[in-house]
Amino acid sequence: MKERMPNSSALMKQEFLKKWIKGLQIYSSFKKEMTIFERKKAIKLSADVAIASTRNASTHWSRALMSDVSTDDANHAAKIVVAQISGRKVEKYSSSKGLMMTCSNKILRRSRVASRCRRTRGVGTSVKARSIARKVVKNRTRVLKSLVPGGQEMDGVCLIKETLDYIASLRVQVDVMRHLAAAAERLDPPQRSIL
């Protein structure tokens, strides 16, 4: 996995912004007049595709996201956006061609490392407490899998690596969107046109 250097964050933001705008332009060319709701979906979807494409299909989550968008038959414009921005035809996401395929479920067992630390306080943790802790970790892992695109296909270390990358990308996305919204609000103080 590519190590993310601090100074590449600015480059990523630029790349994201350009691709995001490109996506929005594609949408506008499809539909001149959009309702606020349609525009919101266009904005969000373009942003998601843009941030996923900055990973160049090198991560599971970005591939899964692109695939989800482009296999949504109801949304024709979205497919074009994905194709244009990623520069390639996006196949249905399947984990069988994964880069990080064989990850074991060791994260669940390794979580006992953490509970082992607690044992040094004197009283050993009971078997029951440990199994409860394992269940909690298992449930929470399941939730995490539902939050990360393509998470269901991931296991153990994959999941953590993908989560790290996904969170870092989400932060870039939020950062740029926040700045754009703030700047636009300053330039265009709320005088909303009546639809």
Partner 1 sequence: MSSRRSSRSRQSGAARISDDQIADLVSKLQQLIPEIRNSRRRSDKVSASKVLQETCNYIRSLHREVDDLSDRLSELLDSTDSDSAQAAIIRSLLM
Instruction: Give the angle 114-119-120 at the CA atoms, nearest 5°.
Output: 105
- What are the tokens at 66? 């692109």
Q: Please enumerate in sequence order all residues whose Cβ is within 8 A of that of 103, keeping only pairs 6 or more positions apart, or say none.
A: 154, 155, 156, 157, 158, 159
Return the number of the residue (79 or 161) whose C-beta is nearest partner 1. 161
CB 127 → partner 1: shortest distance, Å? Answer: 17
Rounded to the nearest 10 degrees, the angle between the axes of helix 60-70 and helix 76-86 is: 140
CB 67 → partner 1: shortest distance, Å? Answer: 19
CB 39 → partner 1: shortest distance, Å? Answer: 4
Binding site residues, partner 1, CB under 8 A: 14, 17-18, 21, 36-37, 39-44, 47-48, 100, 102-104, 106-107, 110-111, 113-115, 117-118, 133, 136-137, 140-141, 143-144, 147-148, 156-157, 160-161, 163-164, 166-168, 170-171, 173-174, 176-181, 183-185, 187-188, 192-193, 195
CB 59 → partner 1: shortest distance, Å? Answer: 14
Give dist(CA 53, CA 79) in Å, integer: 14
